[in-house]
Amino acid sequence: MQLNKEILKKLIRAVTMTTPGEIGCDKCFDRLDEFAEMKLAGKSPEKAMPLVAEHLQKCGECRQEFEALLEALRELQA
């Protein structure tokens, strides 16, 4: 893969958005079920789990996993 201007812009943006206490994909994934269940219960997982919420805003892959899990849980409830 060759670096181009668009990839470099994305990398720079990701670095500037990094915070000291942020979590990685593994820790986020470990908490997705709890985050999704809180969301479905009408609670505020963003307030209870701000690091997970922040990671989901930044990471498209984890956000896709979360949305898929949320949809599956909704289907089970129906």
pLDDT digits (tens, 9 = 90+) for 25-63: 999 999 999 999 999 999 999 999 999 999 999 899 999
pTM reported for the whole predicted model: 0.73
pLDDT, tens digit, for every residue of 1-25? 567 888 777 767 766 666 667 899 9
Reported for 53-61, long-range contacts at CB under 8 A and 24+ positions apart, including other chains, are 54/19, 54/22, 55/22, 55/23, 55/24, 55/25, 55/27, 55/28, 56/28, 58/14, 58/17, 58/22, 59/25, 59/28, 61/25
Q: Strand, coil or helix: what is 69? A: helix
